[in-house]
Amino acid sequence: MPLDTGVVRQLHMVSDAEPEEGFVGVGQPSVDEGVDIGAALRAARTFRGLTPQDVADSTRIRQSYIEALEDLRLEELPSRPFTIGYVRAYANLLGLDGEAAVLRFKNDVPDDGGELRAPVGVRRERDPRFALILVGGLLVVGAILLWNVAQRAMSKDAPSSQVAANTAAPHAATTPNGSAVSLGAPLPAPVESTTPEPYKTPGLDDAAANGGSADAATAASKARASALAASGPVAPDAAQIAAIGSAFKPRGVVHGATAADASGVIIQARKPATLVVRGADGSVFFARQLNAGEAYRAPRTAGLIADVSDPTLFDVYSNGALTGRLISSQTALSKLLKPAPPAG
């Protein structure tokens, strides 16, 4: 009879509800049981009285993966490396040899070299900064395109500048002895510019001529108005004789007085030019750069004087009929009004 020394070398206390991991029960199926590794794992689990949910709770593996692994439904499992890890953990839980279980899994399911699949349920997240950078880039590109379109539209609407004809100057010629050089003919004068003359402040020349004195400038303006009062009415040139008497037709904005308060005199710009209307005391009633077709309707105020940049660019209408053009840069408006023809 062997001697009982009281030393217990190994004691396994395994309950039916929670079997100890790594302990192999008597008669438990091995990893070689069944038709494949899935059937072997199911047999070992059944032998221990465990459910797939018990295995999932102990191994932290989804129950759906446990069931798919027992049936070898590989399409429902993640990539091969993850599945191999599940087989090893499952076998170790049941007290089987994990490496032997992995080896049988590889024999049952050979590697076909397919691409790895991410675990089911893993969500791929993109860097949020990428979306911000993309939106910012699109905004910058859109702003550049809008700016180019606006610049093209502005340059298209701008009046084209007139360029003088490119006349090639004759080449300089040398005398036979090479001592003298003949110069070419002078270039033609540039084409008239369409840019109007800069606006000149009324009374500025009078003030400068009188040492900056405002009183002296007012006196000079009154003297000039008195001198213009004695001048005769305007006379048309030869080119306008055929158009004398034609009715006034607005071809732009009509500034000045209303039709009810008008004196009967209308000054219309033929081309862009400056018109300043002052009173007898030098006060400014109207000052504007008129475009071609724009007109000024004079009020009934006495003593008004029209100061223009170029008198040849203004047509004068009296009582709605053309009488000619201005003949002076400063003209009393009262002299431009002709009596209305008698009614027939």
Which tens digits make up the pLDDT trace of 196-254? 656 566 566 666 766 666 676 676 666 655 554 454 444 555 556 667 888 898 999 99
Where among 108, 126, 145 does a domain terminate?
108
Residue 10's pLDDT is 35
**Residue 37 near residue 91 (C-beta atoms within 8 A):** no
pLDDT above 70: residue 296: yes
User: How far are the Cα atoms of 5, 6, 9 from residue 2, in angstroms, in the given order?
Assistant: 9, 12, 15
Q: What confidence score (pLDDT) does residue 234 get? A: 46
Distances (CA, A) of 177 to 173, 180, 183, 266: 11, 8, 17, 69
- Within a domain: 255: yes
Cα(309)–Cα(199) distance, integer angstroms = 9
Domain shared by 92 and 210, yes or no: no
Which residues are CB-neighbours of 4 under 8 A, at least 6 positions away? none
Mean pLDDT of 317-329: 89
Q: Let me know if residue 129 belongs to a domain.
A: no
Domain boundary among 108, 135, 159: 108
Same domain, 212 and 324: yes
The CATH number for 70's domain is: 1.10.260.40
Is 41 domain-assigned? yes
What domain count does the chain have? 2
Quote the mean pLDDT of the chain. Answer: 77
Query: How do residues 117-155 score in pLDDT, each as one tens digit?
Result: 555 555 556 677 888 899 999 999 999 999 999 888 888
Could you give the strand order of the β-sheet that contains 284-290, starting from the edge strand earlier in sequence?
A: 284-290, 273-278, 305-308, 330-332
Convert the pLDDT of each residue in 10-38 to its tens digit. Answer: 333 333 434 444 455 667 888 888 899 98
Q: Are residues 104 and 226 in the same domain?
A: no
Beta strands at 314-318 and 321-325: parallel, antiparallel or unpaired: antiparallel
Nearest to 255 by CA among 228, 290, 224: 290
Whether 215 is covered by a domain: the verdict is yes
Distances (CA, A) of 270 to 137, 241, 316: 51, 16, 10
Is residue 66 a part of any domain in this protein?
Answer: yes
| Domain limit, last residue, from 56, 77, 108 | 108
Select from 304, 302, 299, 209 the least CA-distant residue to 258. 299
- The rounded distance, in Å, linking the Cα atoms of 96 and 94 is 6
Asked whether residue 149 is assigned to any structural domain, the reply reads: no
Higher pLDDT, 268 or 236: 268
pLDDT value, residue 120? 53
CA angle at residue 247 from 342 to 279, to 5 degrees?
85
pLDDT at 16: 41
- What are the distances in angstroms from CA 93 to CA 46, 88, 336? 13, 9, 118
Q: Is residue 44 part of a domain?
A: yes
Per-residue pLDDT tens over the stretch 302-322: 889 999 999 999 999 998 889
Pairing of strands 295-299, 254-256: parallel
Residue 168: pLDDT above 70? no
Please report whether residue 11 resides in a domain: no
Domain boundaries, position 87: 37-108
Q: Is 150 helix (H, G, I), strand (E, B) or coil?
A: helix
